[in-house]
Chain A
């Protein structure tokens, strides 16, 4: 079974600074997708970024980028120029071709003014 591990329960960053959230996963699959979801205080889950395992290029969405290391089974999220609105829970997620999506325990990020 696939597992997703987020080893940082809580993190904080100063506004305008850069922060990196860590995620590792375990799988025997070769083809899969990885995701980062954001859950603000409203509790609405919002997709931040996705990465296809067959793509070597790291995904980027504006201030959000990932560092995907397939051999190491690592998928970290970098948030640049942090904003107060980035304060949220961040979940790393994995999905292979069996179509069930597995989530990590989450990292609570606080952006300080």
Chain B
């Protein structure tokens, strides 16, 4: 079945460690997104990519990095520079271009810093 797969579902990290969250899609979508979700703040955009080898910063990119080497994959690295990384992270994708715009979401990854 087509969809978006995020892994791991739960992740624990010690302070000072980098961690990478995986996001893979088989929907043949060009655009991919990473959002952070905190209680009471909705979804905030971290990074997005509209095409392979290109990506743009969102509102809260500091302390995060991404790559887009393949159309299907858009991994997010949470670096030690991120001051408060404990959160729920959502990956999404859509067909690129100005169309109906619907985002398809993965099931999310819960990161906890110990």
Q: Do A and B bind each other?
A: yes
Q: Which residues of A contact B (CB under 8 A)?
A: 6, 9, 31, 33, 35, 42-45, 47, 50, 52, 91, 93, 95, 97, 99-106
User: Interface residue count for B (Cβ, 8 Å)?
Assistant: 26
Q: Does B52 contact A (CB under 8 A)?
A: no
Whether A102 and B102, one on each chain, are in contact in the complex, defined by CB atoms closer than 8 angstroms, is no
Known: A33-B100, A44-B105. 11 other contacts (CB 8 A): A9-B40, A42-B107, A43-B108, A52-B100, A91-B42, A101-B33, A101-B92, A103-B42, A103-B43, A103-B44, A105-B40
CB distance from A72 to the nearest CB of B (A): 21
A9 to B103, CA, bound (A): 23
A91 to B43, CA, bound (A): 9
Whether A100 and B56, one on each chain, are in contact in the complex, defined by CB atoms closer than 8 angstroms, is yes
CB distance from A32 to the nearest CB of B (A): 9
Q: Does B2 contact A (CB under 8 A)?
A: no
A35 to B88, CA, bound (A): 21
Task: Enumerate B75-96 residues with CB–CB distance to A below 8 Å.
Answer: 88, 90, 92, 96
Chain A positions within 8 Å of B101 at CB level: 33, 35, 50, 95, 101
Whether B40 and A100, one on each chain, are in contact in the complex, defined by CB atoms closer than 8 angstroms, is no
Chain A positions within 8 Å of B41 at CB level: 105
A103 to B42, CA, bound (A): 7
CB distance from A40 to the nearest CB of B (A): 12
